[in-house]
Amino acid sequence: MNKKKKVTSTDVARAAGVSQATVSMVLNKKYNVSFSRETIEKIEQAAKDLGYRIPDRRRKADTHGERLIVVFCPTLTNPYYVMLLQGIEAVANEKGYGVFVCNTQRELRLEERYLRMMHAVHPMGIIYTFNPSPSYMEQVETLAQTIPLAIISNREKVEVDAINQDNTKVGKLMAQHLLDLGHRNVAFLATPLTKRQKQRSKRVEGFVSEFEQAGLKEHVIIRAAADAMDDIRPRADSEYQMGYELARNLMQEHPEITAIAGLNDMMALGIIDALNEARYKVPGDVSVIGCDNIFYSSLHRIGLTTIDHFVQLKGRDACEIIIRKIKEEQNRFDQERPTSIYHIEYEPKLIVRRTTGYVRSERNVRKNVK
């Protein structure tokens, strides 16, 4: 007796008069492009007539009831990413999804390895909490065609669902606050400003542009950690140490500085410790501002002035987008469902606390008036 030949998606495509790719997208409920009701019915009827069944690997993932969302993180040493994860997990837990974290540790090799794993893991959704490396952006966009994928992005525009952040605005807000307090000799200290980390440079550019508009561009000093630091596996205190070392060297060379902006709160905490060690009063002698509004910044003994860009809400939004897309894909017969790309952006907000104040000379004037 001859064994019956296994029916393939190519056989279904031939019977329905469409491409194999169209058969795969329709039967696997991938609707990044629109298909007519007639096409869907023709493919499903052909599959039924031929006895075609979706390959076991897809059914296996479904029968286990796996509801997994994968989250790519560049590091877990910065509380910023922990806050994002808390927002993501809060929504995922509410909706009955599990979260699996891929910590790339800012290594291209690890990012590539995790991306290759996605075809075997079969997650229901993917969230990038950072900008994908340019080398893999095309691969990420291809993944997004078959798996709901969102990026918590610092880029101005990406071709997938994204929670955007305009870092130029963040830098401007930091600068405006210091200018309003009368500061004219200032510095901006940053982690490495490499091509891979364009969002950092955007924050610096926004900061400098405000001082340039005030005719004070030459009064701004920019210092960044060595590019090689981005190639070293991050430790829990990496960004704190960068802020500390940069601030210590800065004040030895430029004691005229009256305000320092740190790229993020962890750097700002290092800056404050370096200033205190050198016997500068904060904010009496030097004001300090950070960004991210992490938990430590709100502690009373620290009281760091910072920029809030609603980190946990971004995590929640990213997860809600993913779950919404998953539900849309499960609505496989809905011909009226449009293909949608979500772009959400929050306006950054200045949080004034204890580490910023009027410039030294203005403080003295105000004391004399009293």
Q: Are residues 204 and 239 in the same domain?
A: yes
CB burial class (10 A; 0-12, 13-18, 19+) of residue 7? middle
Residue 4, domain member (yes or no): no
H-helix or E-strand spanning residue 308 = strand 306-308
What is the distance between the alpha carbons of residues 224 and 340, in angstroms, rounded to a whole number? 39
CB burial class (10 A; 0-12, 13-18, 19+) of residue 265? buried
pLDDT in tens, 307-328: 999 999 999 999 999 999 888 7
Q: Are residues 267 and 143 in the same domain?
A: no
Using pLDDT thresholds of 50, 70 and 90, give the confidence band for residue 156: low
- The Cα-based distances of 95 to 161, 221, 324, 332 in angstroms read 20, 48, 11, 20
Q: What is the residue whose two structure tokens read 């949608």?
A: 340
Query: What's the mean pLDDT in 45-51?
Result: 86
> Of 121, 35, 16, which Cα lies nearest the Cα of 70?
121
Q: Are residues 216 and 356 in the same domain?
A: yes
**What pLDDT does 70 receive?**
96
Q: Are residues 272 and 180 in the same domain?
A: yes
Q: List residues bridging with 161 in a β-sheet.
A: 150
Pair 150, 161: CB distance under 8 Å? yes
Least confident segment among 5-9, 119-123, 289-293: 5-9
What is the distance between the alpha carbons of residues 216 and 193, in angstroms, rounded to a whole number? 22
H-helix or E-strand spanning residue 100 = strand 98-103
Q: Are residues 242 and 263 in the same domain?
A: yes
Q: List residues bridging with 307 in a β-sheet.
A: 350
Using pLDDT thresholds of 50, 70 and 90, give the confidence band for residue 331: low
Q: Are residues 149 and 255 in the same domain?
A: no
What is the distance between the alpha carbons of residues 80 and 41, in angstroms, rounded to a whole number? 48
pTM for this structure?
A: 0.76
Q: Are residues 159 and 189 in the same domain?
A: no
pLDDT in tens, 181-216: 999 999 999 999 877 777 788 999 999 999 999 999
Least confident segment among 120-129, 135-144, 196-205, 229-238: 229-238
Domain limits at 290? 167-308+350-369
Q: Are residues 228 and 363 in the same domain?
A: yes
When comparing pLDDT for 34 and 234, which is higher? 234
**What pLDDT does 2 receive?**
47
Q: Are residues 239 and 365 in the same domain?
A: yes
CATH at 180: 3.40.50.2300
Q: Residues with Cβ < 8 Å from 175, sequence gap 6 or more?
A: 186, 206, 207, 208, 209, 210, 211, 261
H-helix or E-strand spanning residue 49 = helix 37-50
Query: What's the mean pLDDT in 19-37?
Result: 66
Residue 67 burial (CB count, 10 A): 15
The number of distinct structural domains making up the chain is: 3
Q: Are residues 175 and 276 in the same domain?
A: yes
> Of 298, 238, 187, which Cα lies nearest the Cα of 76?
238
**What pLDDT does 355 receive?**
98
Residue 344, domain member (yes or no): no
